[in-house]
Chain A
Amino acid sequence: MLQNLWNGLVQGGIYAIVALGYTMVYGILLLINFAHGEVLMIGAYTGVATLAGCAGTGAMEAVGFMPCLAMAIIGATCVSAAYGFAIERAVYRPLRGAPSLSPLIGAIGVSMVLQNYVMRTQGASPIYAPMSHPAYVASLGASNWDIGPVSIAPLDLVVLVVCVALMAGLWMFVQRTRTGTAMRATSQDRVMAGLVGIDVNRVISVTFVIGSALAAVAGVLLALFNTQAKYDMGFTSGMKAFTAAVLGGIGNVPGAMLGGVLLGVAEAVGIQLLGAEYKEVYSFVILLAVLIVRPKGILGERVAEKV
């Protein structure tokens, strides 16, 4: 049981940082960015390709696994952030002010385009992270620590530390900085934000860049978890994170963090009680239950008025 809870917590950390991207974009544009999962997938591909490149060129032997992982994460972050920025510019901005269904369909369209684009160019079979490489085995492949009944894998710990650090960093950014405060102001009243001199378009771009960067990190971590990246991996993780965002209260930053962790733990409890076969079912049952019982989510201030 405790082992499952630990696993759920680690998984929940990843859900949380993906959910942040959904919730920040929704907070400002009232748009569910269904392409967010694909941005994560592109991050995962970039990260795994970088790791594979490091392994293939011998760089991983030379500097060890962790520097390569850091490089993979930074590379993935940059590529995904560029995609997020471009998607908003090319698709959502021209549709701003259009009926709310148009950007939503646009988001679904972008999601399909990116999936098929990656499938065509990278192939339909997954690419694998070099996790049998000696450098990996020497660092994160080391044997687990046993603390009482819980066995903690080094990779789990890395994932959790990275997720907590990112959440703390984002929280500080949103609460303490000038741009972060402008983001909150814009999400509360976009017209008024313009009237105090905030460049609303810039704030929206920053929101997409940050959300996409977070998704990229989550993508690389997920790829390590599953040892692979695949063109359709964004769909499931995207839906899970969307569930987490709704659970916590969409549009609400602490809500997304809470929702992600709760969803991970709830899945773990479900696996414990009902078996792992229905793993994917639990989160969507939770999504339905939240939408029926408390549509504004745990910390949500407002009911979702758009799909």
Chain B
Amino acid sequence: MSAAPILELRDVCAAYGPIQALRGVSIRVAPGEIVALIGCNGAGKTTTLMTVSQVVRATAGDVTFDGCSILGVPTADVVARGLCHVPEGRRIFARLSVRENLAMGAFLVRDKALIQRRMDDAFQLFPILGERAGQLGGTLSGGEQQMLAIARALMLEPKMLLLDEPSLGLAPLIVRRIFDVIRSLRERGIAVLLVEQNAQMALRAADRAYVLETGAITHEGPALTLLDDPAIREAYLGA
């Protein structure tokens, strides 16, 4: 990797009380690159994303986005710099309509015409959301909610997305659709840091990948190389 990274974590540590969740995690993501972060339950994948969006404060190390340290910056300001986080469990605003959920995704955009244009784009990307525009978010199916969560993040036209377990609990057909969309982000020049339990899908979609075990990176490399690595195959791909 040669270009200056859009996101860089350097030796990031984080803790919940006495429990050390991250022990010096270093990750680099280049502009427009899709990077997968795989690992078991409790390895610290979600915590890693949380320390990037400053929901969880890193106890050591540094996080830089677009060349500037964002450590300690309020979450809303991180978002304003073009880094959107689609959290685990989608976290749709259940009692807001689909349209309002998308409008909240564009909270930082003031231009109403621009918001409308991006909303039309979202309905083009996920036509089902257009059909359900007036429905409350909580009434959507899991797959529709995941689409809405991604569409909501795209309303800001971010430079980078953090995606946490986008395939969790979804039917295989829907998972494929979601991953098609993730791949299409590459063409739009949006970098992605993708956290997944479904290592197979993640490694096939990603350019590069990191493996996280109990709070530390154990492997990194091109996604396809990791896909063929016997140790990885045994531990994460069930083969």
Closest to B75 in A: A194
| Residues of chain A from 249 to 292 with CB closer than 8 A to chain B in the complex | none
Is the pair A182, B107 in contact by a Cβ cutoff of 8 Å? Answer: yes
Looking at A71-79, A97-105, A183-191, the stretch in contact with chain B turns out to be: A183-191
Q: Can you name 27 A-B pairs with beta carbons within 8 Å?
A: A178-B107, A181-B96, A181-B100, A181-B103, A181-B104, A182-B104, A185-B93, A185-B100, A185-B104, A189-B91, A191-B55, A191-B91, A192-B91, A193-B104, A195-B55, A195-B79, A195-B84, A195-B87, A196-B84, A196-B105, A196-B107, A196-B152, A197-B76, A197-B107, A198-B76, A198-B104, A301-B95
Give Cα A240–Cα B76 distance, bound, in whole angstroms: 37
| Residues of chain A from 186 to 234 with CB closer than 8 A to chain B in the complex | 188-189, 191-200
- Whether B80 is near chain A, meaning CB under 8 Å from some CB there, is yes
Given contacts A182-B107, A196-B107, A197-B108, contact A189 B79 (CB under 8 A): no
User: What does the 1/0 interface line of B87-122 toward A look like (CB < 8 Å)?
Assistant: 100010111100010011101100000000000000
| Residues of chain B from 102 to 146 with CB closer than 8 A to chain A in the complex | 103-105, 107-108
Is the pair B93, A192 in contact by a Cβ cutoff of 8 Å? Answer: yes
User: What does the 1/0 interface line of B16-53 toward A look like (CB < 8 Å)?
Assistant: 00000000000000000000000000000000000001
Rank and list the top 3 A-B pairs by shortest CB-CB distance, nearest first: A197-B79, A194-B75, A192-B91
Q: For B94, list chain A residues within 8 Å (CB).
A: 188
- Whether B159 is near chain A, meaning CB under 8 Å from some CB there, is no
Closest to B115 in A: A178
Query: Total interface residues on B, using CB and 8 Å?
Result: 24
Q: For A195, list chain B residues within 8 Å (CB).
A: 53, 55, 75, 79, 84-85, 87, 91
Q: For A197, list chain B residues within 8 Å (CB).
A: 76, 79-80, 107-108, 156
Is the pair A194, B55 in contact by a Cβ cutoff of 8 Å? Answer: yes
Is the pair A184, B152 in contact by a Cβ cutoff of 8 Å? Answer: no
Is the pair B107, A198 in contact by a Cβ cutoff of 8 Å? Answer: yes
Classify chain A: how many residues form its interface, as a range: 10 to 19
A171 to chain B, nearest CB (A): 15
Is the pair B76, A194 in contact by a Cβ cutoff of 8 Å? Answer: yes
Is the pair B76, A200 in contact by a Cβ cutoff of 8 Å? Answer: yes
Is the pair B104, A199 in contact by a Cβ cutoff of 8 Å? Answer: no
Interface centre among B76, B80, B152 (most CB of A within 10 A): B76
B152 to chain A, nearest CB (A): 7
A10 to chain B, nearest CB (A): 31
- Whether B230 is near chain A, meaning CB under 8 Å from some CB there, is no
Give Cα A196–Cα B93 distance, bound, in whole angstroms: 11
Q: For A189, list chain B residues within 8 Å (CB).
A: 91, 93
A→B interface (CB under 8 Å): 178, 181-182, 184-185, 188-189, 191-200, 301
Known pairs A195-B79, A195-B91. 15 more at Cβ < 8 A?
A: A178-B103, A178-B107, A181-B104, A182-B104, A184-B96, A185-B93, A188-B93, A188-B94, A189-B93, A191-B91, A194-B74, A194-B76, A196-B152, A197-B76, A197-B80
Is the pair B79, A196 in contact by a Cβ cutoff of 8 Å? Answer: yes
A30 to chain B, nearest CB (A): 16
Q: For B153, list chain A residues within 8 Å (CB).
A: 196
Give Cα A63–Cα B212 distance, bound, in whole angstroms: 75
Given contacts A178-B107, A194-B76, contact A188 B85 (CB under 8 A): no
Give Cα A197–Cα B91 distance, bound, in whole angstroms: 14
Give Cα A198–Cα B101 distance, bound, in whole angstroms: 12
| Residues of chain B from 135 to 174 with CB closer than 8 A to chain A in the complex | 152-153, 156
Give Cα A131–Cα B84 distance, bound, in whole angstroms: 59
Closest to B80 in A: A197
Is the pair B104, A196 in contact by a Cβ cutoff of 8 Å? Answer: yes
Q: For B107, list chain A residues within 8 Å (CB).
A: 178, 182, 196-198
A174 to chain B, nearest CB (A): 12
Give Cα A72–Cα B93 distance, bound, in whole angstroms: 39
A97 to chain B, nearest CB (A): 12
Q: For B105, list chain A residues within 8 Å (CB).
A: 196
Give Cα A199–Cα B73 distance, bound, in whole angstroms: 12
Closest to A194 in B: B75
Give Cα A200–Cα B156 distance, bound, in whole angstroms: 18
Closest to B81 in A: A197
Across the interface, A188 reaches (CB within 8 A) one of B84, B87, B95, B156, namely B95
Closest to A193 in B: B104
A306 to chain B, nearest CB (A): 19
B146 to chain A, nearest CB (A): 14
Given contacts A194-B55, A195-B55, A197-B156, contact A184 B95 (CB under 8 A): yes
Given contacts A195-B85, A197-B108, contact A184 B93 (CB under 8 A): yes
